[in-house]
Amino acid sequence: MVNSVGIQSKNPNKLNMTSFGKADKKSQCENHDTLLYEEKKKHPITTGLKIQADKFINACTKYPAKGLKGSKNSNFYEFLTMGMVPYLVGSGMMVAVFNLASKFFNTADAVSASKLGKKMGIGVLFYGLAKTFSKKLVETPVNMKYGIDVNLPYKKVINELPEKDNLDNLVTHEYHKAYESVDFPRWDLFYNNDSFGTERNSYYKKVGKKMGIAEEDLDNADQKVKPLIKEKLVKTKLFSTLSSYLWAATGVGIAMQKPWENLKLNPVNTKGRYFNLVKDFGKDFVESCKQFVNNNSKATRYAGRILLGSAIAMTLLGNFSTLFDFNKYRGNKPQASTSLIDETKEKVVC
């Protein structure tokens, strides 16, 4: 079977999704980008985990193989996705050197390595958790008040180029965010979307109402709301990023405190050991937080307080900047240029 681009398909019964000819109705409906709004609304945690699992598995298997073969379909998205592998593997190796390999050290070195290894492992854990959840402190209020989810994902369909006359399995996918780019958001995914309403501009009308735009001014809701959404996106991404790194540094600082050295990861008694581990972990966490801001060293004590205070202040500043509507108050101020022109006209008339 020869398709519209003149390349013979090995499977004549299978529709070539990359051809420029007419496809059946089912193929046309399936071959488009999909906003995962309903999926995230129903399953907010599992949807994110599935996306991350899909990206991680491909980053370990599919994407490196394509790159090493010199595939013409390798792209920058795959390159960036593979970046999560050395981060996770490198963190695991760093922790393993001090924990799993400590049995090969002499007694004194093994004890020191074990203490340091616990802190490093907890530091990696706290870094990831603090950086992830601290962003929610800025992003969630914006989503609740305006309905703008900066992390709303969509599934992008990719029609790959044929390689070595093979036209099978040319359709693949990538996971992106609708507001991934502030300059070029995927506005088209919000039009005619039944998830937000039956009208073409249902999404933009809902956001506009939440922003305080009157119903009679929403005839061209998308044109009025898009600049306001961009402004919210810039502020939200800026403050969520800044605050996340401050919270991540705070988490690492808490993980480096002395109480973690006594944490027993493998209690001797097997009965109720998991309960004891959680209990000890919580106790050491509280003690480490206290030591982080009340360290015996004056310099360390003030450094911890400044870092924690900066993280809290940046989060509060981010919420104030993103939730407070400056345009509402800015628009009520008279323009100086108008007043100057009026005064000039009066002087000319006189």
List the beta bridge partners of residue 176. 154
> Tens-of-pLDDT digits for all 350 residues of the chain?
444 444 444 444 444 443 333 434 443 344 589 999 999 999 999 999 999 999 999 999 999 999 998 888 999 999 999 999 988 888 888 778 777 777 777 878 888 888 888 888 899 999 999 999 999 999 999 999 999 999 999 999 998 888 876 667 788 999 999 999 999 999 999 999 999 999 999 999 999 999 988 888 888 889 999 999 999 999 999 999 999 999 999 999 999 999 998 887 765 555 566 677 788 889 999 999 999 999 878 888 899 999 999 999 999 999 999 998 766 544 433 333 333 334 344 433 33
Please name which of 304, 46, 70 lies closest in space to residue 153, comparing C-alpha atoms.
Answer: 46
Q: Is 163 left (phi over 0), alpha (psi -120 to 50) or beta?
A: beta
Query: Pseudo-torsion of CA 126, 129, 131, 132, nearest 10°?
Result: 180
The pLDDT assigned to 191 comes to 94
Alpha carbon distance, N-terminus to C-terminus of the chain: 88
Please name the residues in contact with 277: beta carbons below 8 A apart, sequence gap of 6 or more. Answer: 264, 265, 267
pTM as predicted: 0.78
The pLDDT assigned to 280 comes to 86
Q: Could you tell me the two tokens for 302?
A: 């003030």
In terms of C-beta density within 10 A (0-12 exposed, 13-18 middle, 19 or more buried), how is residue 312 classed? Answer: middle
Q: Could you tell me the two tokens for 259?
A: 């109480």
Place of tokens 């009066």: 346
DSSP 69-90: HT-TT--HHHHHHTTHHHHHHH
Residue 213 amino acid letter: I
Place of tokens 């993280």: 311
Start-end of H helices in the chain? 25-30, 37-42, 44-60, 62-69, 76-81, 84-99, 107-146, 202-210, 221-255, 273-293, 298-323, 326-330, 336-349
In terms of C-beta density within 10 A (0-12 exposed, 13-18 middle, 19 or more buried), how is residue 18 classed? Answer: middle
Q: How far is CA 172 from CA 11, 58, 129, 158, 222, in A?
A: 18, 11, 31, 5, 31
Q: CA 236 from chain center: how many Å?
A: 12
The pLDDT assigned to 297 comes to 83
Residue 158: strand, helix, or coil: strand
Q: Could you tell me the two tokens for 216?
A: 């009679």
> Greatest CA span in the chain, whole angstroms?
99
**Contact of 285 with 343, CB cutoff 8 Å:** no
Going 90 to 96 to 97 to 99, the CA torsion angle's sign is positive
Q: Which long-range contacts (CB under 8 A, 24 or more apart) does 88-95 make?
A: 88/56, 91/124, 94/120, 94/124, 95/120, 95/121, 95/124
Rounded CA gap, 290 and 285, in Å?
9
